[in-house]
Amino acid sequence: MPKYRANFVYTHICIIFSCALILLPGCLYAADLQEPDGLINYYDRFHPTIARAGMVVSQNEIASEVGAQILKQGGNAIDAAVATAFSLAVTLPRAGNLTGGGFMLLYLAEEDTSLTINYREVAPAAASENMFLDKNSEPVADLSLHTLAAAGVPGTVAGLFYAHSNYGKLSWKQVIKPAEKLARQGIVFNDDMYRNFAITEGLRQNPESCRVYFKPGCNLYRPGDIFKQTDLANTLAYIARHGRDGFYKGKIAKQIIAEMEKSGGLISAEDLANYQVEIRPAIRGTFNGYDIVTMPPPSSGGVHLVQMLNMFEVLASKDLSPGSAKLMHIQAEIFKRAYADRSKYLGDTDFVKVPTAGLTDKKYARELAKTIKAGAITPSDKIHPGKPPGYESPDTTHFSAVDKAGNVVSSTYTLNHSFGSGITIPGTGMLMNNTMDDFVAKAGVPNSYGLVGGKANAIAPLKHPLSSMTPTIVFKNGKPFLATGTPGGSKIISAVFQQLVNVLFFDMNLAEATNAPRIHHQWQPDVLYVEEGVNTDSIALLKNMGYKVELSKSLGSLQSLMLKDGAALGAADPRRPHAKAVAVDH
């Protein structure tokens, strides 16, 4: 043994021996050391990212970095969120978009107020209730998915423009420029892109999508290749120069309309020019001492998130533990009752009366909770929409942002399915959405997510289709505490619910709450979906109760941040590669 190593070992043996037998004061002090209070527990399995002056969390690390740079340049959370959204259109083309729509929830620190921005797509004026049915009144396969008739009037650019023009600090050109640069100079084609382009056959059925997203001959780019999107860069530059009208009027609008008229789409020039975002009152609830602020219809997410939390508040007990069959049983039965109500009552409140107050009423939750029995399941065919008191893609993506002033953004937007309809508008680099599939083509017939709906979500001209998107901000003592949301289609609401229960009830840190295995039940079909990582003993107990259990691919991709002790804690869901929380520390 080398001399220095021998001396090192001898010295440490002496110290240990001295501490053990003589109990030196220094050794006693070391033994008594306590874990200090702070933002993290060193011994947790998963740890959030910590920031002191702002944070952006999204499903793509490049887009998150863009948002963080905007904060460093003096922009606020709204600027950062808008820049992130435009960048996702370049870096995450299966969900990031200019031609889809979504929802944004803002907290404005100076005004100490929250507001919602509905920039969801609407049905074209030429749409009709039976447009996706054949002569026998049966839904036509793929008509609501892979045609331009499936496209709703886009809301993304209008929504981002509204948020920025009313609440941003930097110029419109400044927040778009990074996305344009990424599209023009190119990004590294990564393994996640390779996988998704390879399995999405619909893209190769459209000549323009082949030209834009593939090499000559419609051959795949390979991981490591530089992927440039020149048409999209030019589109972004045009929107940067001309603002909202750069999309809804002028050259880009003409390109959209030309393809609609050529290929059977319904969107008209008037539809584009007349599109408006809407500001609607947020859905509000309480859970375990926290205030929940979330999206109203046409998002179903906010109503049913609060409804689920209300039921859980009744049923929760101190002996519940994460991952237990008892907990998952309670959650599954809560989900079934909420999704049954969703099928009957939820729709666009400009067209139908939605009993929002009744569905989110705690008394109604107590009535529903009485029907849930320990250890006993209720088959879905025995569950029907309840009677609340009187009236008042999986490849979506979410991003959250906070700045040093305390402004918070939580926003979810989508093309609906992965790459939307798969149809690219020639010369623009933009894929069109297939959001019309979120309507009910025929009452009682499941849509592509297996969701069953009724008259409330029937197709009508200029109506918003129902959504499950659930951007949410949780408040503690009147101040923002947690901002979250996720893609996942019908699984969005249950994913957000489980994360909030993990944080607000089980006191997990944000990263632990995000990483924890999830389950999902949506009433129809009568199947309990579980992720890998759910305890096998718990699964066996659930099966013994009578659940039909199926292993599912990842359930959601939560992109979240928490505000605590003057810092931001971020968690990007590992269920999607390349998701990242990017910190700003000065």
Q: Please list the active-site residues.
A: 396
| In the block, residue with structure tokens 């839904």 | 139
How many whole angstroms from its chain centre is CA 538?
Answer: 28
Which residues touch 6 (CB under 8 Å, ≥6 apart)?
Answer: none
Helix or strand holding residue 294 (H, E)? strand 290-294
Q: 394 near 418, Cβ under 8 Å?
A: yes
Pairwise CA distance, residues 499 & 558, whole Å: 8
**Does the bond joining 223 to the residue before it have cis omega, within 30 degrees of 0?**
no
Pairwise CA distance, residues 368 & 310, whole Å: 10
Pairwise CA distance, residues 152 & 529, whole Å: 30
Among residues 367, 418, 369, 407, which one has the least CA distance to residue 388? Answer: 367
Among residues 123, 210, 176, which one has the least CA distance to residue 437? Answer: 123
- The residue type of 354 is V
Per DSSP, what are the bridge partners of residue 376?
Answer: 373
Q: 229 near 211, Cβ under 8 Å?
A: no
Pairwise CA distance, residues 281 & 276, whole Å: 16
Pairwise CA distance, residues 510 & 402, whole Å: 15
Cα 173–Cα 177–Cα 181 angle in degrees, nearest 5: 160
Pairwise CA distance, residues 167 & 236, whole Å: 21
Q: Which two tokens stand for residue 563?
A: 């505000």
Which residues touch 10 (CB under 8 Å, ≥6 apart)?
Answer: none
Neighbours of 378 (CB within 10 A): 16
With 0-12 CB in 10 A as exposed, 13-18 as middle and 19+ as buried, what is 111? exposed
CA end-to-end span of the chain: 49
Among residues 85, 411, 120, 86, which one has the least CA distance to residue 232? Answer: 86
Pairwise CA distance, residues 487 & 365, whole Å: 26
- The residue type of 234 is N
